[in-house]
Structure 1
């Protein structure tokens, strides 16, 4: 038997050694993959599927994403929120169908359902781990939220709390409330941010991006939904879910960009009121103004962090959104400057100067830290202004009834004259800026009538106008509402007046739907 040459033996040994080294080098990476990495793989695979040149390649990427979901997230979804699993499984099926039919744009929208619903699963698992004082599970699931929201950079306090818990499970008691509320605040801000970004997109005639933002907003809100339900009740939470879904429907319609924008603006007003109620914020006119500025400045800081590095724009979309949010914050400030000056001249002046300085920094692509500092200072100014605002003023509830009746009758005339958009605006104002203040007192004595008027006005009447019902049908619907309002007025006289927290100085409305609408404010 011939012996193997030494050279061949050595070559085999070297090759085997290299193979072992490569495996040793690879295995720790494979086994150290976090759930955040798994989420990112799903997102990347679905995006790669949209870019693939053949249907078979697209479906291969989708299958990879689905396998990762089933291995890493499905059991958790079934355990804590079976509806989330159904949404994700349905979205995967839809994406396969989309690729087979060549509808990549719809595949991209369905991707949002998967992507954002995984965040909800992660949040629920984080909350479950906190309840169980399970720091290992907490740290594992927290990586999804860390990866998505760049918590170490954008929300360092939350990142620090998570690190403390990972190091010492006993810290869970210390940070329990702050962590849960802090994470929910992210989803709350996203609930407000995405519809506004849809409005910005439509302002540029970009329906495709508006659709994306609308889908993102809806699925972001699903994480916040249980908290809204717990605090405000199932009916209010369902209303907010309906409003978020309505924004999706608006962007998927065949209407003009301008009409979509106007409709979403009205829906966003309704969403904002519910969010302010959830926050326990001052829902007076000046309270909404200050909250509107505050939210947009928070978004300016967050978006700018991703937009600019070393004086260069690295993400044009984030930069454009930074500019848009700052512009909106400045518009709100400018339109209400006189009222804010009445509260505190020094804080109002400083806030105005900060907004101007932020605009200069962003225009020159200067340091993100400068924006963070100015946002922090501005939030302090806003807090001071909020502390000066207040004072309960008694408002006769029948003023709201009168305003609703006036607006509905005006809507009749305008719709019959062919001005459907103005009629829609007037109905929205009747509900949002007036009936909202009647609901509480009326619900105390006749919940069924309160709900009937709400649905008849907010849903049925507005849908009739949006769907171009005949003027006779619209008139008949309004007449039904007016008759019910007359009945409502008879059962609430004992309330006489209702207290509405408003500023003790005059407030300048930003947008007036009609010159007659005395109780309307737009932010």
Structure 2
């Protein structure tokens, strides 16, 4: 496939129909992200089977049905109940069909499961959008962001304390790189080289059990490269955003459960944990490991179990209120400004143009303006601008990835 410029890529990709402002396509991105994480767990399961590590193989065999399926279930049931039942059965039986089977039979079970995942992808996301490079880049970003959170929870002082989370992080990096291999023919050559170099450095950092801040720096570099291709600047969410998201989702859990929509409530509870609380576990644990674990159990296990058991709405409300109280305590610990109210001013804020769009508009790279909390650096390879978190900029400069404008 021939190489084209970033401007042409962006124009063509938007012509296909993907827009981050589209609710429908946002939902498809969310669904596809759950599929990609599932494939990441399949990969980790495969590696552990090769190493005859039944304990960790079991973890990765059960994670998709234990958590990710709940995110996908409402959409699957609405679109195709038969396929939903097929996926549920496949994921429920994955442990027995892999961990408790011969290696040959286990591989067949994994291959069959992958085929069913692809069947779901085509049904829900569609062939065109699934093959859209813009959409694939968005999936890469989601996987990379999640990988950094998993790594932060797993590694401390050069030691792996949580092997399952470490393998989650590496599996999601692996999957993001697999996606990139599918589309790098559509990416400008210089950007492709930068991304490949960053992946190599990231894997080296994994091998060295680097500090989580170094992993975040390298992931930030990859996100900046993707942003340069797409022309859409990443919004790096702080702790307060995750706290607000969790409370909003838990309010919806109460409402949906009270209205008899238990499956929707279960999906919302799962989103509160997987898409939000996982990113808070590391920061909270730095101050109070016991509190972090208490909230994790209450949100990840107890709330979801209560929904599955069909307890009364009053019990769900009381449990959610207890979780929120613990979250407020955690927010105070890490110094996040967390208030339970609508943030109307945030909705009215106007998004700035991305660095690429500013350059296209005629602004010199060194004069590009970044959003609040972001710092401008000029990439060493092609002198193009990138906006990254301030704490990330210094480490990227030390790595030789870029320099501050003169």
Q: Same fold per TM (> 0.5)?
A: no
Higher-RCO chain (CA-CA 8 Å, sequence separation at least 6): 2
Relative to its length, the structure with more helix (as a share) is 1
